[in-house]
Amino acid sequence: MKDLKIKKEEVLKSASQMIADKEAVRSYIKGKTSLQELDKKGIKLAKPL
Amino acid sequence: MQNHYNYVFDVITNTYNFVTKNSILYRIAFVVDETFSTLSGEEIPNVYQLIVEKANDELEPYDAKVSKTIEDIIEKFFGRIENSLIYICSDDNQKSKQRHDIFDRWYNKSIYKENILKLDNIIHIDIGMPHPQTLYTSMMFHKDNLNSKKLISIYKQIENALNEDK
């Protein structure tokens, strides 16, 4: 694996994105957001089992 | 007797669903997560964010079969050793620590501890919400996962980055 130096702002940006994705999916589960809207945000739901 | 509810994958909603004895519908979503790939610049596949949510806002009395059902789903998830899981405890109602502690207790008592590694990070973040958020994040993966060294290395880097200003 190549040497890696991750910057704090990159982590915070990724964390913000993860929280935004989570909120969008929670809203989807409650029927307040459509699957198309998740698609537009680049959120993909998987079947990993 | 089975100690969890039956669940099915709903191809319409792309979620795993089950209904409790109180007629509460739970949906469990696995969101493809590319955070580790983005941060490392390498492709780290099969990483998912787990999201568990009731389909409506009804309050439900304590039901032990709910956590048993989620546990069963997680067990099946790690039946594929290439899978990794990210779990973020939300800070709504400022209960993220409480949620994390429950998850942590479950993990420490679980039989999966032998084969499934769990790494934790606490992230303090201000994303324009009414108050700054404290996120309790956990990453779980099978000890035989071929990417385990990479995952640990990236997680350590994330930890180092978060401690930069301390």
Which structural domain, as residue segments, surrounds residue B106? 8-162
For A12-43, the DSSP string reads HHHHHHHHHHHHHHHHHHTTSS-HHHHHHTT-
ipTM of the complex model: 0.92
* Spatial CB neighbours of B83, under 8 Å, sequence gap ≥ 6: A48, B46, B48, B77, B141, B142, B145
Interface probe for A, chosen from B53, B89, B152 (most Cβ of A below 10 Å), is: B53
Residue B122 belongs to a domain with what CATH number?
A: 3.40.630
What is the residue-level pLDDT of chain B in tens, covering all 166 positions? 679 999 999 999 999 999 999 999 999 999 999 999 999 999 999 999 999 999 988 888 899 999 999 989 999 999 999 999 999 887 766 677 888 888 888 888 888 889 999 999 888 877 666 677 788 899 999 999 999 999 999 988 888 888 776 5
* B7, closest residue in chain A (CA to CA): A49
B1: in domain = no
Joined tokens for residue B119:
């790494």
B3: in domain = no
Please give, rounded to a whole number of angstroms, the shortest distance from the CA of B94 to a CA of chain A: 14
Res B126: pLDDT: 73
| Contact in structure between A6 and A14 (CB atoms under 8 Å) | no
Res B15: pLDDT: 98
Indicate the length of chain B as a whole number: 166
Domain count, chain B: 1
Helix (H, G, I), strand (E, B) or coil at B104: helix
B63: in domain = yes
* A34, closest residue in chain B (CA to CA): B13
* A45, closest residue in chain B (CA to CA): B31
B2: in domain = no
Please give, rounded to a whole number of angstroms, the shortest distance from the CA of A6 to a CA of chain B: 6
